Chains A and B, each alone.
Chain A
Amino acid sequence: MPVKKAAAGAPTESVQLVPLRYLAHARSGDKGDTANVGVIALEPEYWPVLLREVTRERVARHFGDMVSAVQRFELPNLRALNFLLHGALDGGGTLSLKTDAQGKVYSTALLRMEIPVSAPIAATLLSRHAP
């Protein structure tokens, strides 16, 4: 995955976009028509980045029409964020016709999101994930 220059309006030139999966792991589940995604920092130093960059608004934009509303909760003790993705499961439970009716892989769908990180962190992540 090539790293792109940050979008216009980003604070400095030294910020780069990287896939969230380089910084976090995740698990998801369901409650009715709501999917939850727990996003967990892979390293302690990534936690402040998650806290700052993986915002409710950005996650809502990432999923677009796939969800009707997003809530975010913080668990600093676990260096984790929990997202509730409402209306994500096409009715949920037994009603849903989706392959992922129980939201099991919304986790990896969220990890596709690209987030801005500082150049030094980006360099480390890139070298670690170099093909």
Chain B
Amino acid sequence: MTRSIRVAAGQGFWGDWLEAPVRQVTDGPVDYLMMDYLAEVTMSIMQKQKGRNPAMGYARDFPQVMERILPTMVERGIRVTSNAGGVNPRGCAEAVLDAARRAGLAGKVRVGLVTGDDILDRLDDLIARGHALADMDTGRPLSDIRDKVLSANAYIGMAPIVQALDQGANVVITGRVTDTGLTLGPLVHEFGWDPVDWDRIAAGTVAGHIIECGAQASGGNLLKDWRTVTGLENPGFPIAEVSEDGSFVITKHPGTGGVVNVASVTEQLVYEMGDPRSYITPDGVADFTTIQLRQAGKDRVAVSGISGGPRTDMLKVSIAWFYGYKAIGTLVYSWPDAFEKARAADAILRKRLSALGLEFEQILTEYVGVDATHGPLAGPPDPDLPEVQLRVGVRARDKAPVERFTREIAPLVLTGPPSVTGFAGGRPQVEEIVAYWPALVDRREIEPHVKVEILEA
């Protein structure tokens, strides 16, 4: 008899629907809950929070949701894999242990803590030994901005997750483990797949890619026939039902909203895709041109035929560095002549900024309702638009000009074109820009440092 493992997505990004993980463990049978919290930008945000408070730097939603669902998970034997640890996985693990104790589960929860992705303290040593950690996009060596680096994490794969599960962890918490590794880890643990069985590794990776963005694979943000997607007030998050041979079915719990069809899965497959023949992860390289999809019933899409190739010698590194400051100010102009008024206000604002001698790397003006999403492709606007939002953003290395810019928006209300509103939110906020620096590093520099600890509640 063919055994299959059901891996359920509980979170597609940090800030996703809080009820999703609860529904996933209560609305039907699952074996694993996979909670992806990290995007490129997320690590930067977590780093900012850790800078303000060293106890932070992880997804604080995660211990809270664990407190709600751990009793059910323990009762049903469901285990969870998550990169909620962000830039502080140990802090996250401790918060989960506290949550488990509060939920009355002392002695019943084993947290697998994965560390070793954080290479901030090792950067100087790595650079000194000839690792340039050059920006993959620009080729600049990291030494150019070394003094501005705030965090540096290597993307690690499924291996430590497998190890933690092998050691009996029911909650695995990691830092910068790849989104796909969170799904692949449980599969390798359950089926004992050979880590060099590249086709199976690729299949588990594709399964992970399909479910890593949550409901975006099951009817959320689905463009094709979007009006026909119903029940999104209770979206069914995707579940990968994987067989030992690497074939799998994407589905969702019965009675939930949304849809799982070939269109919903295909839209997710192409999301954030580069060269489809080489989807590179630390665990292997998947060939997306081999994926076969078939509708296999209501809300069931069968996925098969996936082939892959060997993993590469390099790991990607995500480096966050302090870049400068930005602020975005908005005002809303009403009919008649809404667009013309907004443009006049923009011209006045720019003359004032210039007269003040403020220097910016960039001033960007968008007119929401006219060109903010499609730029010039939107064509000339309807002359009778009911309203237009003027949206002006500035960016500079220094804080002073950005700070001054934030005081130049409100004055336009009484000193500029008429019929303006929408400023009740107050002055724009000055935001610090933490920029992203993608680099590569030899995996032999990282893997010996990756560590798995089992902590008991």
Residues of A within 8 A of B (CB): 25-33, 36, 38, 40, 42, 62-64, 66, 73-78, 80, 82, 84, 90, 92-95, 97-100, 102, 105, 107-109, 112
Whether the pair A93, B436 counts as a contact (CB closer than 8 A) is yes
Whether the pair A31, B293 counts as a contact (CB closer than 8 A) is no
Q: How many residues of B contact A (CB 8 A)?
A: 50
Whether the pair B268, A77 counts as a contact (CB closer than 8 A) is no
- Beyond A76-B289, A97-B326, A97-B362, whether A36 also contacts B272 by CB under 8 A is yes
Contacts of B288 on A, CB cut-off 8 Å? 75, 78
Majority SS at the chain B contact face: mixed
- Beyond A25-B223, A26-B223, A99-B372, whether A78 also contacts B269 by CB under 8 A is yes
Which residue of chain B lies nearest to A33 when distances are taken between CB atoms in the complex? B137
Contacts of B272 on A, CB cut-off 8 Å? 29-31, 36
Contacts of B436 on A, CB cut-off 8 Å? 32, 92-94
Contacts of A102 on B, CB cut-off 8 Å? 41
- Beyond A27-B271, A78-B293, A109-B377, whether A95 also contacts B263 by CB under 8 A is no
Contacts of B41 on A, CB cut-off 8 Å? 93-94, 102
From B172-180, B344-352, B389-397, B415-423, give the one contacting chain A.
Answer: B389-397
Interface residues of B in 350-393 (CB under 8 A from A): 362, 364, 366, 368, 372-377, 391, 393
Contacts of B276 on A, CB cut-off 8 Å? 73, 75, 82
Whether the pair A42, B224 counts as a contact (CB closer than 8 A) is yes
Residues of B within 8 A of A (CB): 40-41, 44, 136-137, 221, 223-224, 263, 266-277, 288-293, 305, 323, 326, 328, 362, 364, 366, 368, 372-377, 391, 393-395, 433-436, 438
Q: How far is the CA of A93 from the CA of B437 in the complex (A)?
A: 10
Min CB distance, B421 to chain A, in Å?
19
Q: Name 13 extra pairs, CB < 8 A, besides A26-B267, A32-B137.
A: A25-B223, A29-B271, A36-B270, A36-B273, A76-B289, A78-B269, A78-B293, A82-B270, A82-B273, A94-B41, A97-B362, A98-B393, A105-B373
Q: How far is the CA of A114 from the CA of B341 in the complex (A)?
A: 32
Whether the pair B290, A97 counts as a contact (CB closer than 8 A) is no
Which residue of chain A lies nearest to B268 when distances are taken between CB atoms in the complex? A27
Contacts of A95 on B, CB cut-off 8 Å? 323, 326, 395, 433, 435
- Beyond A40-B263, A77-B290, A109-B377, whether A97 also contacts B394 by CB under 8 A is yes
Contacts of B362 on A, CB cut-off 8 Å? 90, 97
Whether the pair B374, A108 counts as a contact (CB closer than 8 A) is yes
A-B pairs with beta carbons under 8 Å apart, 25 shown: A25-B223, A27-B221, A27-B223, A31-B272, A31-B274, A32-B137, A32-B436, A36-B272, A36-B273, A36-B274, A38-B270, A38-B271, A38-B273, A73-B273, A75-B288, A78-B266, A78-B291, A92-B436, A94-B44, A94-B435, A95-B323, A97-B394, A99-B366, A109-B377, A112-B374
Contacts of B391 on A, CB cut-off 8 Å? 99
Q: How far is the CA of A86 from the CA of B375 in the complex (A)?
A: 16
Which residue of chain B lies nearest to A81 when distances are taken between CB atoms in the complex? B270
Whether the pair A100, B372 counts as a contact (CB closer than 8 A) is yes
Whether the pair A97, B364 counts as a contact (CB closer than 8 A) is yes
Min CB distance, B167 to chain A, in Å?
35
Whether the pair A107, B223 counts as a contact (CB closer than 8 A) is yes
- Beyond A75-B276, A78-B291, A82-B273, whether A25 also contacts B377 by CB under 8 A is no
Q: How far is the CA of A81 from the CA of B440 in the complex (A)?
A: 28
Contacts of A31 on B, CB cut-off 8 Å? 272, 274
- Cross-interface CB contact of A40 among B270, B290, B377, cutoff 8 Å: B270
Q: How far is the CA of A73 from the CA of B278 in the complex (A)?
A: 11
Min CB distance, A81 to chain B, in Å?
9
Whether the pair A77, B291 counts as a contact (CB closer than 8 A) is yes
Contacts of A64 on B, CB cut-off 8 Å? 376
Min CB distance, B372 to chain A, in Å?
4
Which residue of chain A lies nearest to B362 when distances are taken between CB atoms in the complex? A97
Which residue of chain A lies nearest to B364 when distances are taken between CB atoms in the complex? A97
Contacts of B221 on A, CB cut-off 8 Å? 27
- Cross-interface CB contact of A94 among B137, B223, B366, B434, cutoff 8 Å: B434
- Cross-interface CB contact of B377 among A38, A62, A93, cutoff 8 Å: A62
Contacts of B273 on A, CB cut-off 8 Å? 29, 36, 38, 73, 82
Residue of A90, A97, A100, A102 with highest tally of chain B CB at under 10 A: A97
Q: How far is the CA of A40 from the CA of B373 in the complex (A)?
A: 21
- Cross-interface CB contact of B270 among A78, A100, A108, cutoff 8 Å: A78
Q: How far is the CA of A45 from the CA of B391 in the complex (A)?
A: 42
Whether the pair B275, A80 counts as a contact (CB closer than 8 A) is no
Min CB distance, B275 to chain A, in Å?
6
Q: How far is the CA of A119 from the CA of B290 in the complex (A)?
A: 33
- Beyond A27-B221, A27-B223, whether A99 also contacts B368 by CB under 8 A is yes
Contacts of A107 on B, CB cut-off 8 Å? 223
Whether the pair B375, A80 counts as a contact (CB closer than 8 A) is no
Contacts of A90 on B, CB cut-off 8 Å? 362, 364
Contacts of A25 on B, CB cut-off 8 Å? 223-224, 263, 267
Which residue of chain B lies nearest to A84 when distances are taken between CB atoms in the complex? B274
Min CB distance, A108 to chain B, in Å?
7
- Beyond A27-B270, A78-B266, whether A109 also contacts B375 by CB under 8 A is yes
Q: How far is the CA of A100 from the CA of B373 in the complex (A)?
A: 6
